Amino acid sequence: MVDILLQRRIVIAITGGIAAYKCAELVRRLKDRGAEVRVVMTASACEFITPLTMQALSGEPVHTHLLDPRAEQGMGHIELARWAELVLVVPATAHTMARLAHGWADDLLGSLWLATTAIRAVAPAMNQQMWKAPAVQRNYANLLQDGVRVWGPTEGQQACGDVGPGRMMEPMDLVEQVAAHFQPKDMHGLHVLLTAGPTQEKLDPVRYLSNYSSGLMGYCVAKAFQERGAHVTLVSGPVSLPPPQGVTMVSVVSAAEMLEATLSRLNGIDVFVGSAAVADYRPRELAQHKIKKTEAELTLKLEKTEDILARVAEQPNKPFVVGFAAETQHVHAYALDKMKRKKLDMIACNDVSQPGIGFAAQHNAMHIFWKNGDCALPKAPKMDIARQLVGLIMKQWKGPSA
């Protein structure tokens, strides 16, 4: 599969903040994905990281001056403005955000910012109290009003010792934001419902039955649909992941709650993706008090939980139904049997016994089956797998001629 960032023309504009050191990693990762990267640096940025470093990583001369004798007619900012598909300012300090919000054009970055018709984005980075300051929030609002993408900031430990909002997004997260920007927005009007994460089936007031699912794969699929313009509702079991931006979240705990939340939202849904690792069984009786360790053995009576996938697939005017099969043996055979029994339109299966993929891992590998067809997705980051899976879902939902 061709990477969405291949030959994309990206200007990385570095300004004077301690987070400037992260830009080396950002440029390297963008280049790894096949992007063409040109670097602009302000005078203060050169105090934190050298132009020579950025030139070596980007493979292109670094631009630092407004009037560049190497450029045609000395107007390097105009050439860069015309060349770029995306201009990303990192780190966007409070000072830089103020200049950009008010249209200052007395240096290379300011002039490039006003001269380009490319998509413009900033990744804020500053002290947490500075980020909260009314003046900074006004400039933030002005940038949003001008159509600028604002990626971050995140929360956490800062160089000054404070903790709070103001950290620049990590380089790999910014690469994902850039990739999302270049995804085709071809799913407007499509309504997608997904389930993700584990369920927890209560045993007593302090214990439950569950599994190792982190929910990451389902969250990535939700994000991949949202990137392409779909309206996405995500019904999630208990996870520690932040909600995907732009996705409608519904939090549940048990399989029964997930079934109710799913069926009540099926009206008008075009595609349903059941990626949740729903518990197969739950305790027949819920103990009213904590079960004490008084016996050498404990016998639990379990009963089957609701089959959410099958219930969705049997609905009149059902959506296009995609199931998941996490197996430890006979993966393809079990997946095909599950697809047939539950009358699914497509199933994505993987071997969760393999190290480095599946539950709690950052990577995955899948085999996708549908009527009269299949496709293997080799090991890759889960977000990449999700984008490939969404492409396959859309091709089958629209028909082989799509």
Active site residue 46: no
What sign for the dihedral angle of Cα 135, 141, 143, 149?
A: positive
**What is residue 39's three-state secondary structure?**
strand
The single-letter code of the amino acid at 275 is: S
Tell me how far apart the alpha carbons of residues 90 and 101 are, in angstroms, rounded to a whole number: 15
Where in 8-64 does DSSP place strands (E)?
A: 9-14, 36-41
What whole-number distance in Å separates Cα of residue 62 and Cα of residue 86? 17
Closest CA to 101 of 48, 60, 146: 146
Instruction: Say if CB 366 and CB 389 are below 8 A apart.
Output: yes
User: Which amino acid is it at 187?
Assistant: M
Catalytic residue among 160, 220, 349, 375: 160
Pairing of strands 9-14, 36-41: parallel
Beta carbons of 90 and 123 less than 8 angstroms apart: yes
Among residues 359, 329, 331, the alpha carbon closest in space to that of 217 is found at 359
Helices (H), 90-133: 94-101, 108-115, 128-132
In contact, 349 and 327? CB cutoff 8 Å: yes
Is the distance from CB of 247 to CB of 222 less than 8 angstroms?
A: yes
Helix, strand, or coil (residue 280): coil
From start to end of 182-284, where are the E strands? 191-196, 201-204, 207-209, 231-236, 248-251, 271-274, 281-283
Point out which residues pair with 231 in neighbouring strands: 191
Under a CB-based contact definition with an 8 Å cutoff, are residues 217 and 382 in contact? yes
Helix 382-398 to helix 216-227 angle (10° resolution) is 60
Asked if 331 contacts 338 with a C-beta cutoff of 8 angstroms, the reply is: no
Residues 240 and 213 sit within 8 Å (Cβ to Cβ) = no
Catalytically active residues, by annotation: 160
